[in-house]
Amino acid sequence: MNLAIDHLVVAARSLEEGASWVESRLGVAPAGGGKHALMGTHNRLLGLGDDVYLEVIAIDPGAPAPARSRWFALDAPAMRARLERGPALIHWAAATDDIERAAAEAPMDMGEIVAASRGRYRWRITVPPDGSLPAGGIFPTLIQWEGQRPAPSLPDSGCRLESLDLGHPDAGAFFAALQAMGLADEEPIDTSISEPGIVARIRTPGGIAVLA
């Protein structure tokens, strides 16, 4: 079983607001993306290398409300209140080649494994019934791609993920669990025993930028 950083998740009240926030920090605007009919959301993407990308996601105002809670806590009152203050890096997703086993070995209930699609992309992803984020966003959502992945097809933005810093009182246990689930030693993840928080350091053509 292998586990690797797949993408970072930036949430916003609207795609335009989220894309502008990312561009103001990285100097490059996310583009492309599309709609998730299953969840009533839409996104834009920014490549961070061959295997990693950044996703800006928001509720799609033109889509009907889904029959279930949206992923990434987008329906939660606390998340909506947070996004009223502006876009934020809220979460990350880890790619696995055995999502059933990875979910079973995770140190918390990852929710159900949901089949999703967007255009030519197909994947399975863990989503709790209430749409909540594992450990408030510090522990990753699990994703298994079926066929083509977005990252290799995205334009080269000139940006690369330098490190993903995960702070939590249980950070040591979380990191040990990720290693047991197949996290490679070369993955740029740092942990600290602290108040919950997630910080991405990204190398851009203009230097190191921080998203939090």
Statement: residue 58 has pLDDT above 90: yes
Q: What is the mean pLDDT of residues 114-129?
A: 95
User: Does a structural domain hold residue 66?
Assistant: yes
| Residue 108 CA: distances (Å) to CA of 9, 17, 143, 178 | 20, 33, 16, 12
Residue 50 has what pLDDT?
Answer: 86
Average pLDDT, the chain: 96
Q: Residue 166 — pLDDT band, cuts 50, 70, 90?
A: very high
| Residue 120 CA: distances (Å) to CA of 67, 106, 114, 170 | 23, 29, 17, 38
User: Does a structural domain hold residue 183?
Assistant: no
Fill in the amino acid letter for 191. T
User: Does a structural domain hold residue 88?
Assistant: yes
User: Does a structural domain hold residue 144?
Assistant: yes
User: Does a structural domain hold residue 70?
Assistant: yes
Residue 43 has what pLDDT?
Answer: 98
pTM metric for this prediction = 0.96
> pLDDT over 70 for what percent of the chain?
100
Residue 12 has what pLDDT?
Answer: 98
User: Does a structural domain hold residue 109?
Assistant: yes
SS3 164: strand
Statement: residue 59 has pLDDT above 90: yes
Task: Please report which helix (H) or strand (E) contains residue 78, including its range.
Answer: helix 77-84
Domain extent for 119: 3-157
**Distance (Å, whole) CA 35 – CA 125:** 16
**Tokens 């998730």 -> residue:** 36
Contact (CB, 8 A) for 69 and 129: yes
Statement: residue 5 has pLDDT above 90: yes
User: Does a structural domain hold residue 104?
Assistant: yes
Domain count, the chain: 1
Q: For residue 57, give the CATH number of its domain.
A: 3.10.180.10
Tokens of 202: 């990204």
pLDDT digits (tens, 9 = 90+) for 127-159: 999 999 999 999 999 999 999 899 999 999 999
Q: Strands across the sheet with 189-192, in order? A: 189-192, 160-167, 197-204, 207-211
Query: Which distant-in-sequence residues (6+ apart) come within 8 Å of 191 by Cβ?
Result: 165, 166, 167, 168, 171, 172, 174, 175
State the SS3 of 118-150.
ECCEEEEEEECCCCCCHHHHCCCEEEEECCCCC
Contact (CB, 8 A) for 183 and 6: no
User: Does a structural domain hold residue 211?
Assistant: no
